[in-house]
Amino acid sequence: MTKMKLLPLLLLLTLVTTTAGAQEPAAAESYEFLTAKLAADAGRYDEALSLIDRVIEKAPGNPVLLFERAMILIDAGRVDRAETELKRIAETNPDFIDARRILGRVLLERAGADRGRMEESLRHLQAAFKANPDDLSSGVTVSQLLVALNRTAEAERVLAVLVERSPDQRVINYNYAQVLTKLGRGDESRPYLERAVQLDATFTPAIFQLVDIYQKQAEWQKAADILRPLVEEEPLNIELRRQHAFFLLRAGQAEEAREAFKVLIEADPLDARSQFFLAESLNDLEEYAEADKIYRKLLEKSPADPDLLASFGITQLGLRNFDEADRVFRSLLAIPAVPDNLAALARTQLGYVALQREEYAKAIEEVRPVFVFRDRPNNQAINIALEAYRKQKKFKEAADLLRPMTDRFPGDPFVNARYVEMLSRLGDKDAARVAAETQAKFGTRNIVATAEAMMQAGNEAAAIAYVAKASAAKPEETDLLFTLGSAYERAGNHAAAEKAFLRLLEKHPDHAATLNYLGYMWADNNKNLDQAAEMLVRAVAQEPRNGAYVDSLGWVYFRQGKLDLAEKYLTDAARLLPRDATVHEHLADVLARQGKRERALELYRVALTLDLEPKDEEKIRSKVSELERQVQR
């Protein structure tokens, strides 16, 4: 026998003799007790019971000895007798917590659906947990029994104690989340589920419950992140991988989603759902020609599928096939019982088609029925109508369209900001000021949106005054200070803009948007180029998929004369932002400087097909003319 085996038995024997009131244990009693325990450990239960019975005969009322005999009986499978003896101990020694804890478990294991035995079990386990709140096993069992007995509020109180005392136990956090949900407090369950997953990244029950929460709240990146370990653990689970890829798609990780769906299709070429989502990811990446091929094949089999038609229509818009887009969206509206969200999408896109055709009255009429969708402003539809009015310089009509919506949605930043814009364009400064001051009461988001609207209307001075006042009142609000710097820059006051941005960076040195804005501003003005490059490297490191940041970094390298680096980053930016005219112009500038005139001309011409301000279009046409002359020499 080893010393490790002997030590706990000797300690137990000391407890037995002390409890029995003996001054000195007799050698024979000690030997019999130890032999009984060792026989039980070896599975010789009859021998063990015979030996411990002899010890009990000499101390018949000793609860510890009776408890030890009950434990041997349990190990021997004689549970009826063990239960009887444990009940006797609990009655005569109610403070013998170990006996009550074991009795509670025995009763629970034998309770089945017997509510009475469950209640009896609960009573003993509650006593054990009350005496020792660190007994996690008893606490968890008590909570589970309370839930089973529909005493959920009591279960919540027990679990609240457990989760406070042992916050690093995944099961306790998970069980607490379940009880909170049962009590109608599901919004409180999220942090406990998240903690359970932090403790075990593959804890499936908590993961799937969190996934449901994240989906409802459109937190797609979080849903993708917590699902990733399960995908890595079960690489052959196709449905799990498809769900993960879908979350990546909705989270804006279109490139990763595209590759994930390609792998799924390689595994199952007939997987229509993955083909559809692959096309969706291609749409998001503006790779419309490839998406078009997939949608057309899918539509051959399901020509009236509403989701397919909606996505195919978006692809046609991306390809600027407006006639085809018009046909597709009208086909979608003709489907019986088309889902209301797709009907709203179709009407909105038909308005966009009309706008592109310069059919302004038609554009407004197409989108008018869906200005409000599910009791919320449909910002795209509203913007299409407003753009139609802008093109015609009908600012009063635009303001009249918006006024009733500002009454219905007084705190909506988009609707009210657009109203301020139209009042500013009308020259109604007093009404615009009153509307802007009203929006300031709704907080930073509304202030920023309103200031942007003022700037779009060409009223930079009013925007600066408006944001400066708000920023002075809330100097810690990063978004207000950033917007103030932006307003100064757009007003041409680069010194004031630089001061605002540097002040922001003093407080938040890694604020990516400011690093990008100030870095690009310096690059565009050909100053502080080394510092600008360092700032833009930091911005891109934070958001490597942000095409605007990548463009800025390429542009500062161009200004530094580092043409190979400039070409690399601007090529990446053009891939990330394939429909951005400025990015194409920047890359063409680099290629022209390198003497790659044919490629530069091609990119300038692409830029001219994209959305451009008149002054920018004139500038690019001038570059094209100059380059064409050089090519012809």
Q: pLDDT tens for residues 258-278?
A: 999 999 999 999 999 999 999
Amino acid 613: pLDDT = 81
Average pLDDT, integer, range 89-107: 92
- Residue 231 within any structural domain of the chain: no
Amino acid 233 reads: E
Average pLDDT, integer, range 452-467: 95
- Residue 251 within any structural domain of the chain: no
Residues of the chain above pLDDT 90, percent: 84
Model confidence at 182: pLDDT above 70: yes
Give residue 147's domain range: 3-181
- Residue 558 within any structural domain of the chain: no
Query: 124 with 107: CB under 8 angstroms?
Result: yes
Amino acid 23: pLDDT = 35
Lowest-confidence pick of 3-12, 60-69, 207-216, 560-569: 3-12
SS3 content of the chain, % helix, strand, coil (to 5): 80, 0, 20
Instruction: Give the pair of three-digit tokens for residue 516.
Output: 């990008």
Question: Per-residue confidence at 60, pLDDT binned at 50, 70, 90?
Answer: confident
Lowest-confidence pick of 61-65, 78-82, 302-306: 61-65
C-alpha 370/C-alpha 157 separation (Å) is: 48
Question: Per-residue confidence at 578, pLDDT binned at 50, 70, 90?
Answer: confident
- Residue 290 within any structural domain of the chain: no
C-alpha 472/C-alpha 115 separation (Å) is: 66
Lowest-confidence pick of 81-90, 386-395, 555-564: 81-90
C-alpha 312/C-alpha 349 separation (Å) is: 12
Average pLDDT, integer, range 447-462: 95
What is the value of pTM for the model shown?
Answer: 0.75
- Residue 294 within any structural domain of the chain: no
Question: Per-residue confidence at 633, pLDDT binned at 50, 70, 90?
Answer: low
Model confidence at 33: pLDDT above 90: no
Question: Per-residue confidence at 598, pLDDT binned at 50, 70, 90?
Answer: very high
Rounded to a whole number of angstroms, the distance between the first and last alpha carbons of the chain is 103
Number of C-beta neighbours around residue 498 at 10 A: 19
Residues of the chain above pLDDT 70, percent: 95
Amino acid 20: pLDDT = 39
Average pLDDT, integer, range 2-6: 36
Cα angle vertex 104, ends 101, 106, to 5°? 110
Model confidence at 187: pLDDT above 80: yes
Model confidence at 7: pLDDT above 80: no
Q: Please say which residue of 459, 490, 508 terminates a domain.
A: 508
Model confidence at 16: pLDDT above 60: no
Model confidence at 54: pLDDT above 80: yes
Amino acid 27: pLDDT = 53
Q: Please say which residue of 134, 154, 181 terminates a domain.
A: 181
Domain count, the chain: 2
Longest alpha-carbon distance in the chain: 121
Question: Per-residue confidence at 10, pLDDT binned at 50, 70, 90?
Answer: very low
Average pLDDT, integer, range 302-314: 96
Instruction: Give the pair of three-digit tokens for residue 243.
Output: 């769900």
Tell me the pLDDT of the chain averaged across its residues: 91
C-alpha 314/C-alpha 610 separation (Å) is: 17
- Residue 527 within any structural domain of the chain: no
| 286 to 229, 318, 556, 610: CA distances (angstroms) | 30, 7, 26, 13
C-alpha 150/C-alpha 511 separation (Å) is: 51
Amino acid 630: pLDDT = 84
At 99-122, the pLDDT tens digits run 999 999 999 999 988 999 999 999
DSSP 218: T
Find the helix or strand (DSSP H, E) in which 552 lies. Answer: helix 547-560
Amino acid 339: pLDDT = 95
- Residue 204 within any structural domain of the chain: no
Identify the CA nearest to 162 among candidates 137, 194, 183: 137
Highest mean predicted confidence (pLDDT) among 182-191, 446-455, 606-615: 446-455
Question: Per-residue confidence at 21, pLDDT binned at 50, 70, 90?
Answer: very low
Question: Per-residue confidence at 29, pLDDT binned at 50, 70, 90?
Answer: low
Model confidence at 551: pLDDT above 80: yes
Amino acid 3: pLDDT = 35
Instruction: Give the pair of three-digit tokens for residue 275.
Output: 């083909």
Model confidence at 553: pLDDT above 90: yes
Output the CA torsion 619→624→626→630 (10° steps).
160
DSSP 376: E
Amino acid 186: pLDDT = 85
Identify the CA nearest to 476 among candidates 441, 450, 511: 511
- Residue 542 within any structural domain of the chain: no
Model confidence at 500: pLDDT above 70: yes
CATH number at residue 23: 1.25.40.10
Identify the CA nearest to 484 among candidates 514, 456, 439, 519: 514
Q: 32 Cβ partners below 8 Å, 6+ apart?
A: 51, 52, 54, 55
Average pLDDT, integer, range 582-591: 95
Question: Per-residue confidence at 1, pLDDT binned at 50, 70, 90?
Answer: very low
Q: Please say which residue of 457, 475, 508 terminates a domain.
A: 508
